[in-house]
Amino acid sequence: MSSGTAGGDLRQAIIDICCALARDGLTHGTSGNVSIRRDAQSFFISPTGMAYDVLEPADIPLVDIAGKWFGTRRPSSEWRFHRDILKARADASAIVHTHSRHATALACTGRPIPAFHYMVAVAGGEDIRCAPYASFGSQALSDHAVAALDGRKACLLANHGVIALGASVEAAFKLAGEVENLAAQYCQALAIGDVRILGQAEMREVIEKFRTYGSQDLAEPGLIRGGQPS
């Protein structure tokens, strides 16, 4: 991609992921939003209040780090945390935000997702934190999200939803789906009771394995190599 393009491929990628979120039941109506970094100074983000299935590349606005936007449609009201996370995290090229059902239900209790299952490590650590509540679109929400994502690729937002980031928008999308799946499993385990939480040593081993081999389902595109493991 040359910097001289109008970003058509990135705009289309945002639409594709928005439609995939709806298809997979991770979003309902127009909740949720997706951003992709264009360069150090700007990013594309889904527009506010538009049905995903009618989106066209020209509907996707560009926002710069000062918060100025360009295009025919207003950016999502959550552009601020997208900007601040992309600014704070060189490892993030894209961000997916949803109000997916189970992750949001859990976030409405203010709970993090602890190490109840080894796959929690796909978010980069021993738990998936829950950022404290702040009003949508606010700087306080953005600050809480950046803090909750420290050393992680995903977090819950209390009484709100989920954020997942990735080195590609596909990776961020897959992680958002995995967090929803983990949240659903954790809710069910809580309903049974006596959930066994993995210890630090057990989780460190998994984190190290993911670092070395990648997780089977969530490896970044380009990191999956053919051949047998040596």
> What are the residues binding Zn ion (CB under 5 A)?
161
**Whole-number CA gyration radius for the chain:** 17
Q: Which H, E and C letters describe the chain, residue by residue? A: CCCCCCCHHHHHHHHHHHHHHHHCCCCCCCCCEEEEEEECCEEEECECCCCHHHCCHHHCCEEECCCCEECCCCECCCHHHHHHHHHHCCCCCEEEEECCHHHHHHHCCCCCECCCCHHHHHHCCCCECEECCCCCCCHHHHHHHHHHCCCCCEEEECCCEEEEEECCHHHHHHHHHHHHHHHHHHHHHHHHCCCCCCCHHHHHHHHHHHHHHCCCCCCCCCCCCCCCCC
CB of 128 to Zn ion, least distance (A): 17
By beta-carbon proximity to Zn ion, the closer residue of 32 and 124 is 32
Catalytic residues: 78
Which residue lies nearest Zn ion, judged by its C-beta? 161
CB of 77 to Zn ion, least distance (A): 8
CB of 230 to Zn ion, least distance (A): 44
By beta-carbon proximity to Zn ion, the closer residue of 179 and 206 is 179
CB of 220 to Zn ion, least distance (A): 25
By beta-carbon proximity to Zn ion, the closer residue of 99 and 152 is 99
CB of 207 to Zn ion, least distance (A): 28
By beta-carbon proximity to Zn ion, the closer residue of 30 and 181 is 30
By beta-carbon proximity to Zn ion, the closer residue of 115 and 134 is 134
